[in-house]
Amino acid sequence: MHHDDERPTRSVWKWFWAWQDEQEEAWLRDMAHQGWHLRTVGVPGCYGFERGAPRDVVYRLDFKLGKGDWEAYRQLFADCGWDYVGRLGGWIYFRKEAVYGQPDEIFTDAATKARKYESVMFVLALALMWFSIFFGIPKQIGGTFATVLAVVQGTLALVVVYALVNLLMRVRTLRRRL
């Protein structure tokens, strides 16, 4: 899929939570059915698409912390027919033309799939620690701004806890399938 500057592009704002990666994959595939192919994922929640022919394209997300072996990692996916689209934080976007009878998963066993979600959980746990540490600071400042900040932080912390619980259950289900 080459980038043609003359081809129409559009940006779509859509939010997917950490536990909604499969929905995100399905949505990107649906967009491809409508002729919109993912081009950029630089900004969280903002997807850049470019116009093309409607195609059945499977999108898969991996999650990796750090770069370690980036070249070999990319090459392995490329060898297996997966196009690299972009990276957003730890999330890595791959796509492949869907061909009947051919594999369309990047994770073919439960253990390695579980490890992906465990990496996500690690980052979420760090975020939760961050919120816990800085939760007390607004109180020092005082005033309405501090209250608003505290509410926002509290809400985000609750979301992170929900994400952790959701992914923990997913990991447990995956690991039970031995």
Partner 1 sequence: MSTTADNLDRHLPLSEAGFYIMALLAEPRHGYAVMQETTALTGGQVTIGPGTLYGALTTLERENLIEFVAEAQRRKSYRLTARGRAVLTRQLVRLHLMVNVAAQLGLDPQPEAM
Q: Could you say which of 77, 91, 93, 117 contacts partner 1 (CB under 8 A)?
A: 77
| Closer Cβ to partner 1, 63 or 131, answer by number | 63
Taking CB under 8 A as the rule, does residue 60 contact partner 1? Answer: yes
Binding characters for partner 1, 87-126, by CB under 8 A (x = yes) = ----------------x-xxxxx-xxx-xx----------
Binders in 118-177 for partner 1, by CB under 8 A: none
Strand-pairing partners, residue 46, are 13
Q: Could you say which of 3, 8, 69, 134 contacts partner 1 (CB under 8 A)?
A: 69
The whole-angstrom distance between residue 12's C-alpha and the CA centroid of its chain comes to 15
The residue count for binding partner 1 (CB under 8 A) is: 25
Taking CB under 8 A as the rule, does residue 80 contact partner 1? Answer: yes
Taking CB under 8 A as the rule, does residue 5 contact partner 1? Answer: no
Taking CB under 8 A as the rule, does residue 82 contact partner 1? Answer: yes
Taking CB under 8 A as the rule, does residue 55 contact partner 1? Answer: no
Taking CB under 8 A as the rule, does residue 71 contact partner 1? Answer: yes
**Both tokens of residue 166?**
């959701």
Pairing of strands 91-97, 57-63: antiparallel
3-state DSSP of the chain: CCCCCCCCEEEEECCCCHHHHHHHHHHHHHHHHCCEEEEECCCCCEEEEEECCCCCEEEEEEECCCCCCHHHHHHHHHHCCCEEEEEECCEEEEEEECCCCCCCCCCCCHHHHHHHHHHHHHHHHHHHHHHHHHCCHHHHHCHHHHHHHHHHHHHHHHHHHHHHHHHHHHHHHHHHCC
Taking CB under 8 A as the rule, does residue 6 contact partner 1? Answer: no
Contact positions vs partner 1 (CB under 8 A): 60, 62, 69, 71-77, 79-80, 82, 103, 105-109, 111-113, 115-116, 178
